[in-house]
A and B are shown apart, each in its own frame.
Chain A
Amino acid sequence: MSATHTTASVPVHMHGQHLVLHAERALELPSARALIVADLHWGKATALRALGVPLPSGGTAQDLQRLEAVLARTNARELWILGDLAHSRHGWDERALVPVHAWRARWPSLAITLVRGNHDRHAGDPPASLGITCVDGPYVQHELALTHEPMSGGGAALHVCGHLHPTTRLAGRGRDRVRLPCFVQGPHYLILPAFSSFTGAGAWVPSPGERAFGVVDDAIVPLPPV
C-alpha cells in the first residue's frame, strides 16, 4: 500500500535530481548536503504584540527546535531559506533575536543563504551577527532555481519555492476532515510548506499534474495525484 505508508521522510526523484521531503517541513538535497526551508516568519508574534495582541512567547523557540532536529538528522552543511525569514522588522528586535543567536551559536559552520521574499523586503536583511548571506531570487544552485514566489523558468529545469503556505484538505468515511500543511510536487517544480507553525492556510489551489505530500505530526503522507 503506497498511500497508507507514512514515514518521517519521503524521497522524490525529479529531473534527475534526488530530493528528500522531511516531516519537519524541510526539503533536503543530499548531493549538496543542503537543507531548504521557506516562510519562517520570525517575529510574527512580536509584531502582533506590538499591535496590542497579548501573545505568549515560545513559538519561535519551538520552530527552532524543529529546525535543529532536521539539521542534525540530515547533517546538512548548507541551509537555503526561500524567503520570509522575518515576518516584519520586529523579527530583528533584540528580544526576538535572543533564541535565534543561541541557535546560530550551536551551528557555527552552517552556511546560510536567504533568498529574499516579500516580507524580507519590508523587514530588512538579518543583522550581520547571524552570518546569513542574502540574495534576490532566482538563486541557482545544483540545477535548482530557488525563489520565494512561484515563477516560470528561472534558469534551471527544476524550480523550488515557498510563499504560498500550501495546505491540503483530506476527507474520509464518517465525514472526517482535516487540513494539513503540505509539499506540492508539480511537473517541474516543488512548493514548500510554511516552516512557521504560526501561520494559517495559504492560497494554493491544486491543479492537474500536481501532487501533495501532507505533513502530519512527524510523518509525511503522500496523496494521490490531482
Chain B
Amino acid sequence: MTPLERWFEAQQWSPFGFQREVWDAYARGESGLIHAATGTGKTYAAWLGPVREALESTMADRIEPLRVIWLTPLRALAADTERALRAPIDALGVPWTVESRTGDTKASVRARQRDRMPSALITTPESLTLLLCRDDHHERFASLRAVIVDEWHELLSTKRGAQTELALARLRAIVPDVRVWGLSATLGNLEVARDTLMGVTADGTPRPGRLVRGLVPKEIEVESLVPEEMDRFPWAGHLNVKMLPQVLDRLAGATSAIVFTNTRSQCELWFQSICAARPDWFEFTALHHGSLDVDERRAVEDGLRSGRFRIVVATSSLDLGVDFAPVDLVLQVGSPKGVARLLQRAGRSGHSPGRTSRIVCVPTHALELVEVSAARDAMRANAIEARDPVDRPLDLLVQHLVTLALGGGFTRESALAELRTTRAYAALTDEELGWALDFTTHGGAALAAYPEYARLVCGDDGVYRVTNAQVARRHVLNIGTIVSDTSIAVRWLSGGRLGSVEESFIARLTPGDVFLFSGRALEFVRVRDLTAWVRKAKSKVQAIPRWQGARMPLSTELAAAVRETLDAARAGRYDTPELRAVRPILSLQAERSCIPAPHELLIERCETRDGHHLFVYPFEGRLVHEGLAALFAYRIAQIGPISFTFACNDYGFELLAPERAPLEEALEAGLLSSQHLLHDITHSLNAAELARRQFREIARVAGLVFTGYPGQQKSLKHVQASSGLLYDVFARYDPDNLLLRQAQREVLERQLEASRLGRVLTRLAGSTVRLLNLDRPTPLAFPLLVDRTRGKISTEKLADRVRRMAAQLERRTPSRVRARPTP
C-alpha cells in the first residue's frame, strides 16, 4: 500500500476511480479537466497527483521550491483551500510549504514570498498576473510543475478566464511541460471548457487534455414554498419577505441550513428578518456576502464548519468551492435563474452516499413560481447551460501588453507567438496586435505622437518596456477585469472594519440615516478619507444598500423551459405544485389579455399617467430582449421623431413613449423583418447607448480610467474622467478606435447574442401578432411597468425633448409667482 492509500484509509475514505485516473494521468505528464458535482472529491483528485510525485521524488529534509500554483476565482476561498491542501501534506510529511497570495494577504507575508515562494501557491488570476509583472518572474516560476485551476466554469466565459489563459501561456513559455488541470462543475460544453484551458499549439491545434468525469450527480429534489394567499402575493419585486413564516418553519426543523439569496440586499434583508422574528436564533445565525470584511466572512465559514452557526444567509459568495460539511437544508430565495446554479446550490445538502439532495425554493414574486417549475423540468431533461469563452478582448490585450512589458519586456514577434497559444487570442491578427502596440506606445492613429503619453516604449532592440514609474504603478493597481464602483469602507467610529459599500449608495445618505449592513442597523455619521463612519443605530432601519452588478438574467435554457411551462398552463395543464399555486395569476393574465401560444407574439398596449406603453413578450430571456427593445424602438422611430424609454426582463420588454407610437404602421413596414438586421441593430445599439454603457468595462480594463490607489486619502477626481465622457471624446475625435468597436462587438455578440437575435426575429416574423389594447396592465406587464432601470432611444432632437419636459414641468408647478413673466 502506498503512503497515499494509507492516508486515505486513515481518513476512512477509499479513493474513487476518477481520482486514481487523474493521479495516473498526472504521473504520465498529462493535463486535463475534471468535472463533477460540488463536494465529491475533485480537490484531492487534482492535488494528490503532485503530492504523490513529491513523495516519490523529494528529500524529506529540504523545503521544496515552487511546484504548484492553485488558482481560485474567489480570494475568499483561499483560506479554505489552504486548509484542505495542507491536510495530506502535513500527514504525509511532504516537505512542502502551502501559502496563499491574494488581495487579502498581509504585506509582510507578501514580502516574505517575494524572497521565497512557497512550494504550493494558492492565488487568484489577478494576483498571479501581478507576479508576472515582476521582471524576475522567470526564475520564480522555473521550478513549477503544475497549475490547477479551481472552479474553471466560473472563469471560463469571462475576461478573467481570458486573463487566466494569458497567464497560463506565460507559464508555459517558461516551463513548456507544465501540467494544467482544471476543476469544473458540469457544463453543457465541457470539451470547449477543456480546450480553452489547455491552449493551442504553435500550429493552431488544441493541446491534448483528458476529460475526467467525476461522480454522477445525486438525485436532486426541487420543492417550492407556496404562498397561502396568492391574491396577496406580489407580482414583482425581489425585496419582500412575505414567505418568512414558512421559511422559519423549515429552518426550525433543520440542524443546519443555508439560505441562498441572489443579491447582497436580499441577503441583508433576510438575515435581519429572520433574526427579528426569532431573536433566540441570533447567536447561531450568520450572514455571508462578498462585501463583508474578510475576517467576518472567514469567521462565518469556520462557524458553519464547526457547527457554531446553524443558519447562514448567503449570496453566491458561498456557491463556490470548499467542501464544508453539507447541511440538512438548502433554501433558495428567488428564482435560481439557471439550471446549473440550481444543481450547484442543491448540491450543498445531503452529501452522504445514497442521500437525496434537496433544495427548497422561496418565491419572491408570483412569476418566480413558473421559473422554479420550469427549472425542475429543465433539470430533469439535463438541459445544463453551456458557457462560451471570450474571444480576443482587445481591452485585456492592451492591459496584458503592459504586464509583459513590465515582466522583462517583449518583442512584437514573441508576443504574437505567445498570445496565439491561448484559445482566446488564437485568431489574433498581426494588425490587431499592431493596433494594440500603437495604442500603448503613442495612443494610436488619432493621437499624433504625444510625448507625454507613452505607456510602452519600444527600444532600438525592438523590445517593448515600461520606462515611466507612474505608468507602472498605475498598471499594477489596475490589473484585473472586474469592474465595480468606487467602494467605500464601512467602519465603526471606534475603528473596527465592517466591509464596504459602493460610493453611490453612501452618496444618497445624510448623517443620521440608518441603514442595514453586515446584519446590523447602522447610523451613518460621516464620510471621510473614503470611509463611511458609523455607529450602532437607535432608530429603525431606513435603507438597504444596493450593490451594483448586473441582475442575473434567466439562462437561455431556462427561458426555453419557461415558454414550455407557460404553454402547458395555457392548455390548462397545471400539473406541478408551483403552477397550481400561480394559477389565479395566470388566469387573470388570460382574462385581461391572454397567455400567448408558442406561435403567437403578444403585444399589449395601454396608456397610463406615465405615457403610452407597449408590452412585448417574446419569452427569450433578458439579453435578447434588450436587443429587441432597442431594435423595435429604433425601427418605430424611423417613421417619425419619437422618444422611447425601455425596460426588459426575462419574459419581454416595454417601450414607453410620451405619445402613441405608430405600431401598426411599423409592423406593416417590417418591424419583425430580419432584413437589414445588422445595419439596424448596429444603429439601434448606438442610439440606445448600449455600447456606451459597455465601454465602462472596456475603459477600465484597458487602463483608461483608474480606480485609485489603495488607502488613498484624497479623491483622484482631478485626474479622472468618467468612461461615458471618454466614450464621447473617442466617438467624436477617434471614431475608428478599436476599443469603441470592441464595445459594439461585445454588446452585439455577448449581450445581445446577435445570431440568436436573428433566429428570434425569424421566429417572431413567422408568428401571429396578437395586439391587444388594455385599460390596465396585466400580471405579465406589471414587473416591467415598475422597473426603474431603463434604456432610452430617441429620434427627436435633444432640444425638442428638453422643451417638452420643461413645458410639463411648468404645467406641474403650481401657479406660483414666476421669476419673470414673458410675453
A contact residues vs B (CB 8 Å cutoff): 1-6, 13, 44-59, 87-88, 90, 93, 95, 119, 170-178, 180, 185, 198-200, 211, 214, 216-219, 221-225
Contacts and interface: CB of A to CB of B under 8 A. Distances in A.
B612 interface: yes
Contacts of B91: none
Contacts of A45: 729
A136 to B, nearest CB: 21
A176 B704 contact: no
A56 B704 CA distance: 12
B611 A173 contact: yes
A59 B470 CA distance: 25
Contacts of B451: 95
Nearest to B725: A200
Interface string B684-725: 000000000000000000011110000000000011011001
Contacts of A175: 610-611, 645, 656, 790
A50 B818 contact: no
B457 to A, nearest CB: 12
A137 to B, nearest CB: 20
Given A54-B453, A119-B718, A178-B798, A172 B805 contact: yes
B452 interface: yes
A137 B447 CA distance: 37
Contacts, number: 175
Contact of A221 (B468, B704, B803): B803
Interface residues of B, number: 66
B809 A224 contact: yes
A53 B610 contact: no
Given A1-B807, A56-B446, A221-B799, 4 more contacts: A53-B453, A54-B453, A56-B729, A200-B725
A88 B443 CA distance: 21
B446 A51 contact: no
A148 B477 CA distance: 34
Contacts of B733: 56-59
Contact of B439 (A54, A177, A219, A225): A54
A224 B805 CA distance: 11
A173 B658 contact: yes
Given A6-B803, A225-B819, A174 B645 contact: yes
A178 B703 CA distance: 28
Contact of B810 (A2, A6, A53, A57): A2
* Central interface residue in A59, A88, A176, A180, by most chain B CB within 10 Å: A176
Nearest to B444: A54
30 contacts: A13-B820, A46-B450, A47-B718, A51-B470, A51-B471, A51-B719, A52-B475, A53-B703, A54-B440, A54-B444, A54-B704, A56-B446, A56-B447, A59-B733, A95-B451, A171-B805, A172-B805, A175-B610, A175-B790, A176-B794, A176-B805, A177-B792, A178-B802, A178-B805, A185-B819, A199-B725, A200-B725, A217-B798, A221-B806, A224-B813
Top 6 closest pairs, chain A to chain B, by CB: A172-B805, A54-B443, A49-B453, A174-B611, A56-B733, A3-B810
B657 interface: yes
A95 B820 contact: no
A176 B645 contact: yes
Contacts of B468: 52
B732 interface: yes
A2 B439 contact: no
B17 to A, nearest CB: 53
Interface in B458-475: 468, 470-471, 474-475
B34 to A, nearest CB: 41
Contacts of A50: 452-453
Interface string B341-378: 00000000000000000000000000000000000000
Contacts of B726: 53, 55
B734 interface: yes
Contacts of A90: 452
A53 B471 CA distance: 10
Contacts of A199: 725
Nearest to A217: B799
Nearest to B717: A200
Nearest to B644: A174
Contacts of A176: 643, 645, 658, 792, 794, 801, 804-805
B190 to A, nearest CB: 40
Contacts of A93: 452
The CB with the most chain A CB atoms within 10 A, among B705, B718, B729, B806, is that of: B806
Nearest to A223: B806
Interface string B729-746: 110111001000000000
Interface in B579-611: 610-611
